[in-house]
Amino acid sequence: MENRKSQIIEIALRNIREKGYLSFSYDDLAKEIGVTKASIHYHFEKKEDLGLAICARIKKGLDHSYIEIANTKINIEDKIWEFISSRAEQISPNEICPISSMQTDYNFLPVTMQASVQQLSHLEIEYVIKLLEESSLQVTQDTKGLAALLISSVKGALQYNRILGENLYITVIAQLKLLINGNIKKR
C-alpha cells in the first residue's frame, strides 16, 4: 500500500519537473502507473493532497541533503557546491527543479500549497545561508542575497540547459565558483 503511494508521489514529482503541477491530471497518473483514477484518489483524495505530499517529499530531500553535506568531512568551502550539486543531480536534462516549477504555477496553487512552496523556497535559501556562514568565505555583507543569487543562478542554468543543452549548468557553476573564489576574504 505504501509502495503505491510512494510510486504516485514519485511519478507526480517527475511530471512536475517535466511539465509543471498544473499540466498533469489524475487520469494522466493513472494511465502512466497502470491503475484506475480511483486508486489515485484512494491515496490522495484531491490533487492538493498529492501536492502537499510532494512538497513534504521535497522537504525531506532538502533536509537529507543538507544534513549529509553539513556532516561530511569535505572542505567547508566545497560544501556549498556539494549541496547545490546534490540537488541538481536529481534533475534530468529534460527537467527543471520541482520547486521552480511550482513557483511558476504559484498563483494558481491552492493556498495550502502556496504556503508549502513558500516554506520550501525559504528553506532552500536558508540551507545555503548556513553553509555560507559556516565557511570562512566572506564575499559580501549580504549572505542571504548571495544565497539567493547562487540558487537562482543554478536554477536558471538548469532551465537554459534544458532548452539549449551545451552543459550550461556546468558552465554556470564554474563561473559562480570563479566569481566567489575571486572575491574571497578570509574571516
DSSP reduced 3-state for 186? strand
Considering the chain, what is the average pLDDT of its residues?
Answer: 90
d(CA 46, CA 55): 15
Mean pLDDT for the stretch of residues 61-90: 90
Q: What is the band of 139 on the pLDDT scale with cuts at 50, 70, 90?
A: low
* Domain architecture of the chain: domains with CATH: 54-181 (1.10.357.10)
Q: What is the band of 186 on the pLDDT scale with cuts at 50, 70, 90?
A: very low
The set of cell numbers assigned to 30 is: 493513472
Residue 132, amino acid: L
Q: CB count, 10 Å around CB of 86?
A: 16
- How far is the CA of 43 from the CAs of 21, 23, 52, 118, in angstroms? 18, 20, 12, 25
Beta bridge partners of 137: 186
The set of cell numbers assigned to 136 is: 570562512
Mean pLDDT for the stretch of residues 136-141: 65
Residue 93, amino acid: P
Predicted pLDDT of residue 182: 66
Distance of CA 105 to the CA centre of its chain: 15
Q: What is the band of 41 on the pLDDT scale with cuts at 50, 70, 90?
A: very high
pLDDT in tens, 171-183: 999 998 888 776 5
Predicted pLDDT of residue 152: 94
Predicted pLDDT of residue 102: 97
Mean pLDDT for the stretch of residues 81-108: 91
